[in-house]
Structure 1
Amino acid sequence: MERKDLVSIIDKFKHCNIAVLGDIMLDMFCWGKVERISPEAPVPIVHVNEETFKMGGAANVANNIAAMGGNAYIFGIIGDDGNGRKMLELLTKSGIETDGIIADSGRQTSIKIRVLGRNQQMIRIDKEDIQPIDYERQKIFLERLIKMSDKLDGIIISDYAKGMVSKDLLDEIVKKFRKAGKFINIDPKVKNFEIYQKATLITPNASEAAAALGLERFSSEEELLKGGDTLRKQHSLDMLLITRSEKGMSLFRKSAPPITIPTEAINVYDVTGAGDTVISTFSLAMAANATPEQAAEISNLAAGVVVGKVGTAFATTDEILAHFDKRSLKKPSSGSQ
């Protein structure tokens, strides 16, 4: 892809409207110093001197869309509590439409608390409710999505297996929105990919894809390429994109051989939320009429930016362009010896 093509695609992001439905989580980072070991147990004592909050899960997907200039509309459930109000504050500050959120007094807002010392994560504490949402809630979310269908380019399903995403809800979304010409792109979590049947795209990592095939891991490149093609066909998907950490990503499509795009990371500090960045960037590129190959390449660039940051992060279009330029400088010209 040439730079002018990249510029043309990302310039259209501001006209793209994408709904994000899924598990909303608040990420809390406790930054501190470790100077001694606890006398109570052989564990370090972290003296916390700063606490920061970021959007996680489906909220991070929406935040990535907004950071790249797109219009994000989030649908999900939070608790009617302080962490829920903090989440709404963060979403509103980022310009994300929150009319699709339900605050449930019988549920706590999911929060992941990460304690960091000596420039590394020491422990993560999860506080969450993961019971499935009931039929009435599912109906409300579906009705709200249908109400704004005309303005949407597509929907991202951000499934973290925390109770928001169910087969019944997905079946209804796929049936109604694919018929209307909208894409349904899914970041999967459960091992049984049956619930993602007939989606436009799913974006598992290599471990998730292997597990969906009943494997512990892929033992070779050949096995991964064969497995990806099998998964796409089994679940009647238009596309499947396997993210592969330091090996980049592999894209599987109908009537085309798989392609593997090498990683674009220059420095890797933290992979937190990289999958969120991939699906949000790919979806924006699709909405901007990029080819699947272009969408995958832009997603790879964005992921390369994000893993160079600490904590839940996002990439801006300026950062993506800068990363593209750095990559181009490293590549020898066709006339080089």
Structure 2
Amino acid sequence: MMEINDSSGDDFTLVGFSEYPQAEFILSLFVSGFYAMTLTGNVAIILVSLLDSRLHTPMYFFLRNLSFLDMCFTTCIVPEMLANMWKGSKKISYIGCVVQYSVALALGSTECVLLAVMAVDRYVAVCWPLRYATIMHQQICHLLATMSWLSGFVNSLFQSSLAVVLPLCGHRHVDHFLCEVLVIIKLSCVDTGPTELKMLIARLIILTVPVCIILTSYACIARAVVRMHSAEGRQKAFGTCASHLIVVSLFYGTIMFMYLQPKSNYSQNQGKVFALVYTIVAPTLNPLIYTLRNKDVKRAIRKVVWKDSV
């Protein structure tokens, strides 16, 4: 195939689910509904946690970051996805594709680190309750949040810079509904083995380090809970951690399947389904999980929406 050195002059075609044209329209309605729920749920959490002074705590500060992150992540992907489903052309410009996979990678990486930071926050709350306010003061919370965002964008800059320098061939059909960096590099005319190895190392770092922090934090929490003599104390500790554990399981379960499985076992259709869960469903479920399992948030929502005195 003829090599195109100046790849910026050509568009990509996002194949998506075009092989199932009837199902694609139904899927577009499904995605639209989930996107609306994602925006509504996460905006509600941000506003409620800002308006209710009792939610001005480190836990809800990090939750606001997570909600804002989820909104940005889905907005980076869903509008373009819906436009491609509803219009005749499924084209996306080279620059648009690079921006999409760079921003999506940055936000996904940031969430990896932010979930680990939230686990540390829960560890301090359960294991050091009397020193919680001293340890998790405002400056350290802002520092941890900044570190999460910065590490995510540094990881994206590293991986995206590896991808963008690869020469692309004439074939520009992307078998996905979004520009995903691992799919894009497969269009290269050269051997991508060294590049993929570097990306794998970067993914292992951004995934396994936060996972180790999360597992260590919850191991310490579990040990502290077992030592509690009060059933009420154990129930409270479980309640404060359960929502975060559910979100972590959903997020890491899908992302590890997508990025860490051997290439020989990778099915593109399976990848699309798990990418839907990761990019569309999970950001919608996060506010529901935190709301339904959290009495403080439900009380604050009733107060803000219905002006009830609590």
Q: TM-score, normalised by structure 1?
A: 0.26
Higher relative contact order (CA 8 A, sep 6+): 2
Higher strand proportion (structure 1 or 2): 1
Q: Which structure is higher in helix share? A: 2
TM value normalised by structure 2: 0.27
**Greater C-alpha radius of gyration:** 2
